């Protein structure tokens, strides 16, 4: 029996925003008006109108 992933993957941001701390490969999840990294808890406000 295959192991299930522990965490649910965040919704992929269509802009392709990556975590500056974790580097490319780790996408930031979208939460309301901000992006959040599920790895290092890095958060960034979305300045998109
Ligand atoms: Zn990160």
d(CA 42, CA 1) in angstroms, rounded, equals: 34
Residue 33 vs residues 13, 41, 45, 48: alpha-carbon distances, Å: 12, 15, 6, 8
Rounded to the nearest integer, the mean pLDDT of the chain is 78
Residue 49's SS3 state is coil
Question: Once rounded to an integer, what is the mean pLDDT over residues 20-44?
Answer: 90
CB of 17 closer than 8 Å to CB of 1 = no
Higher-confidence position of 35 and 3: 35
- Ligand 1 centroid from CA 20, angstroms: 7
Decide if pLDDT at 3 tops 80.
no
Question: For the whole model, what pTM was predicted?
Answer: 0.58
- Ligand 1 centroid from CA 38, angstroms: 7
CB of 10 closer than 8 Å to CB of 18 = no
């Amino acid at each position: 029996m295959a192991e299930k992933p522990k965490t649910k993957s965040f919704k992929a941001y269509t802009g392709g925003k990556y975590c500056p701390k974790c580097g490319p490969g780790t996408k930031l999840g979208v939460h309301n008006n901000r992006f959040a990294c599920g790895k290092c808890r890095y958060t960034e406000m979305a300045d998109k109108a």
